[in-house]
A and B are shown apart, each in its own frame.
Chain A
Amino acid sequence: MENKFSIKNLDMYYGDFQALKNINMEIKPKEITSLIGPSGCGKSTFLRTLNRMNDLIEGVRVEGEVLLDGEDIYKEIDVTKLRTRIGMVFQKPNPFPMSVYDNVAYGPRAHGIKKKSELDEIVERSLKRAAIWDEVKDRIKRNALSLSGGQQQRICIARALAVEPEVLLMDEPTSALDPISTLKVEDLAEELKKEITIIIVTHNMQQAARISDKTAFFLNGELIEFDETDFIFSTPRDKRTEDYITGRFG
């Protein structure tokens, strides 16, 4: 199978500070990849180099290659196009202060879709895919901020899905949620994996073990180990990985 992402010799700097050191990684399509590691090791930074979200920060420098379906995202793909192909869900639910409908329709509208019937259809489909349709279908015109945190997070997922991304990046999407909402998001990720590639940052070992096919362990900006999730959690090759997942570390 072709790689969705090929990351080659990736270095990333915040000014003088090197946050990622020589990362090499291949990510297969329609898999869930978990990124784990102690706080500050560069998980979010890595995730944000994949959709060039770091471009927004002053003084950021990226070296090496990130290929999406063989194309260099820093050289060959337009950044707005890139971000429609790669959706992102953030740690804290961040719906816009507008209605559920307007939230989900935001992306399509930003890309020029104006027809009401078309938007209606996209909104409904996206909310269904994010497994939140039944809960909000009667209050689609209500302000999204009036929903619970767990519902808000799934609205954000629906909003990301509305532009039909091939990849979904999730940065600790459940860390602000209660256990039931967390399970819903996890189920959702497993469902979505049938169609898209998912990369998820998590501090929750059980979560990584439960839902991901591959797991990558980061430490101090380096990729220490990257393998099948089952291997990582049963027979890690690196001592530091073992220390971390058994909780003797960080």
Chain B
Amino acid sequence: MKMKKKINPKEGFIYGLIGVATLFTIGILVFILGFIFSKGLPHVNLYFLTSQFDSTSAYVDVKLSEGSQNPLGLILEETTIKEKGSNEKKVIAIKEIEKTSLGEDAINNQGQPLALSEKDIINRVNGINVEGKSVEEVNQILNSINKDTVTMRITKQGGGIFPMIITTLMMIGLSLLFSVPIGVFAAIYLVEYAKPGKFVNLVRFATESLAGIPSIIYGLFGMILFVLTLNLGYSLLAGALTLSIILLPVMIRQTEESLKAVPDSYREASYGLGANKIYTITKVVLPTAVPGIVVAIILSIGRIIGESAALLLTAGTAAKIPGSLLESGSTLTVKAYTVAKEEANIELASAIGSVIIIIIIILNALSKLISKKFSKI
């Protein structure tokens, strides 16, 4: 006989609530991702990822290739660019560069190579202003040249996020450089050396409290200590030092957990063979704990990528690749914040947001994969 399952009204109500809450959560997630991706993803392409944010202009010399139908090898097009104050302006831009073109070997007026690339705007040719002219008119000017080099003023269009990607990578590298060794050593001390008691409890209480403090507070602290007192200015270094402090509690906790997860039987076996403590820690305990530490590092990377408040106050908002540790630079997240806030450019902010979300999803998948792979041992 088949038992018919009866759901009483009270259970039904609870099931209903659980279902609604679950759907609500998933719904919000899907909505956010959908919103950001639909606004942002159309703007994400290779050009967006690889070009500068600010536009730059320069005079370049380009050699003409001999014996070619189109000696300059440039195919031009008319486009419009937005100027300040949302005026639109018609300009001539490079649509395509032919294989025979020597545009790749162009030299700027300081004698350094500055390759022409697609989407570059041509402002002047041999001193003639070509702005507002049509493609035919410009081609005519170019064809009438009878020297073997042309001098052009070009403008490399910005709008890309390459500097922010590089700054983000630099920020990740530098912050981890400070926080990983300190975090790992502190965790080793707490797990392997410190006698359990008041002091360890105090350290643990301190790290846990530090983990709960909002990052804007760290930002203020970093600004006062690193930017002002130590006179580092808004810089990569000040930002990375501040981030390291933010990362330390998580780094320590996570490493502690993975050290504690190393079975004592490994330690006993090592001591039983006459190995000393340092040897035991470096050869058995740490290597066994590495997967956990790697997960901690990946979580930290996620935190660095996601941080905005603390970096705004310490690393500033420059939209270029910092030339040194003491120069300002903005990470992807900081840039998304500033373009949304200061330029009200929601499309651009969403495009950066899409890139950030994709990176975070990849990092999460990576940390899952690592913990899964190593939990088998």
User: Which residues on A are within 8 Å of B, measured CB to CB?
Assistant: 51, 53, 56, 58, 80-84, 87-88, 90, 92, 94-98, 106-107, 109-111, 143, 145, 156, 159-160, 163
The number of chain B residues with a CB under 8 A from chain A is 21
User: Which of B273, B283, B284 is A163 in contact with, Cβ under 8 Å?
Assistant: B273
**Are B377 and A145 interface neighbours, CB within 8 A?**
yes
User: Which of B270, B273, B283 is A84 in contact with, Cβ under 8 Å?
Assistant: B273
Across the interface, which residues of B come within 8 angstroms of A156, CB to CB?
A: 269
Q: Of B263, B267, B275, B377, which is in contact with the most chain A CB atoms at under 10 Å from its CB? A: B275
The answer, yes or no, to whether B185 is at the interface (CB within 8 Å) is no
**How far apart sit A81 and B377, CA to CA, in the bound complex (Å)?**
32
**Are A81 and B273 interface neighbours, CB within 8 A?**
no
User: Which of B196, B274, B377 is A110 in contact with, Cβ under 8 Å?
Assistant: B274
Number of A-B contacts (CB under 8 A): 70
User: Main SS of chain B's interface residues?
Assistant: helix
Q: Which residue of chain B lies nearest to A156 when distances are taken between CB atoms in the complex?
A: B269
Across the interface, which residues of B come within 8 angstroms of A98, CB to CB?
A: 287
| Given known contacts A96-B266, A97-B288, A145-B377, A106 and B274 CB-to-CB distance under 8 angstroms | no
Mark out the residues of chain B between 268 and 294 whose CB falls within 8 Å of any chain A CB in the assembled complex: 268-276, 279, 283-284, 287-288
User: Which of B196, B265, B270, B283 is A92 in contact with, Cβ under 8 Å?
Assistant: B265
Q: Which residue of chain B lies nearest to A55 when distances are taken between CB atoms in the complex?
A: B271
**How far apart sit A97 and B275, CA to CA, in the bound complex (Å)?**
17
The answer, yes or no, to whether B195 is at the interface (CB within 8 Å) is yes
**Are B272 and A88 interface neighbours, CB within 8 A?**
yes
**Are B274 and A96 interface neighbours, CB within 8 A?**
no
| Given known contacts A94-B266, A97-B377, A106 and B272 CB-to-CB distance under 8 angstroms | no
Q: Of A95, A96, A156, A163, which is in contact with the most chain B CB atoms at under 10 Å from its CB? A: A96
Q: Closest 10 CB pairs between A and B?
A: A110-B275, A94-B265, A107-B273, A83-B274, A84-B274, A88-B272, A80-B274, A94-B269, A110-B279, A97-B377
**How far apart sit A41 and B349, CA to CA, in the bound complex (Å)?**
71
